[in-house]
Copies of this chain bind each other. A is one copy, B any other.
Amino acid sequence: MTSPKPGRVLYATAARRAILELLKREQRYLTAGSIYLLLKDANPKLALSTVYRTLELLESLGTVSGRSEASGESSYVHCSDEHHHHALCTVCGHVDDVDCAAMEQFKATLLAKQSFLLDEHSVEFYGRCADCR
């Protein structure tokens, strides 16, 4: 939603690289706190606030997608920046992107049955991925 301040030049810093690489590698939802803990050893001077700021930046760039855990924390996955949804494995936490072509017929049904004109939708799928089945 929020884009970085227009005209601002972004720097590829060590912290940003480390956080993005971790997210690309893990392919599962991670909270700011867990990212901080996972990177702390290799990057002793990393600050939690930097993790928060980087996540906010990556989300604004569409590189990462956030959601709220039941615990009240926010977590993030690295993902494509096109409109899509996530298939989240309830066994290993692995997250895959899913396109939403099939949603079109659902939209038609909604309009016919409830006169609701569907503009947007946010979906999260929970199940078992190819590896965990």
Contact = CB atoms under 8 A, between A and B. Distances in A.
Interface of A: 1, 68, 70, 87, 89-90, 96, 98, 102-103, 105-106, 109-110, 114-130, 133
Nearest to A94: B116
Contact of A119 (B68, B90, B109): B90
6 contacts: A96-B116, A115-B130, A116-B125, A116-B130, A118-B127, A122-B123
A130 B120 CA distance: 16
A87 B115 CA distance: 11
Contact of A96 (B96, B98, B105, B114): B114
B114 A120 contact: no
B87 A114 contact: yes
